[in-house]
């Protein structure tokens, strides 16, 4: 998705501030969390904890606790995953070109620990300030009530 204005695609490896081995992550995360966060898996739609939540708060990375999105940026995209029109700040996430599954997408990762969060899409016609949909996995997030 080369036309996404705000997110910058990058295949350049970065050094995460939180660096752990797979064995360390396995002891801290459930098997489902590990599969999604560390192996770029995807939870099934309409099954995650936050896909239809309207509770106010801040969504943080389930792996490292970095604040990523606010409930003010969350909207109902009807896709079965939590959707946001923008991250809390651009430096909270990083973007990677993802050409798996026979399509080109932009993967979104936590900038602090390099955990997989989901994908960002653009130009789908949602009535949001950015016309972007950050389609995140619930299992990658934890809602902190404010």
Tens of pLDDT, residues 57-79? 999 999 999 999 999 999 999 99
CATH code of the domain in which 36 resides? 2.170.150.20
Domain boundaries, position 106? 22-145
Question: pLDDT per residue over 24-62, tens digit each?
Answer: 999 999 999 999 999 999 999 999 999 999 999 999 999
As a whole number of angstroms, the distance between CA 137 and CA 7 comes to 18
- What is the count of structural domains for the chain? 1
Is 17 part of a structural domain of the chain?
no
Size of the chain, expressed as the number of residues it contains = 146
pLDDT at 1 (0 to 100): 38
pTM of the full predicted structure? 0.87
The answer to whether 18 and 47 have CB atoms below 8 angstroms apart is no
Instruction: Give the lowest-confidence range in 4-18, 47-61, 96-110.
Output: 4-18
3-class DSSP assignment, residue 77: coil
Examine residue 59 and state whether it is found in any structural domain, yes or no: yes
Q: Please identify every residue annotated as catalytic.
A: 135
């Amino acid at each position: 998705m080369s036309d996404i204005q705000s997110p910058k695609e990058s295949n350049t490896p970065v050094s995460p501030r939180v660096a752990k081995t797979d064995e360390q992550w396995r002891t801290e995360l459930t098997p489902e969390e590990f599969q999604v966060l560390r192996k770029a898996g995807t939870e099934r739609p309409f099954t995650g904890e936050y896909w239809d939540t309207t509770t106010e708060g801040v969504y943080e990375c389930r792996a490292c606790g970095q604040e990523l999105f606010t409930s003010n940026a969350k909207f109902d995209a009807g896709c079965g995953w939590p959707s946001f029109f923008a991250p809390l700040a651009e430096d909270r996430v990083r973007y990677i070109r993802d050409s798996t599954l026979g399509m080109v997408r932009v993967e979104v990762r936590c900038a602090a620990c390099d955990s997989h969060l989901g994908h960002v899409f653009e130009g789908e016609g949602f009535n949001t300030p950015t016309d972007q949909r950050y389609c995140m996995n619930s299992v990658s997030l934890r809602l902190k009530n404010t």
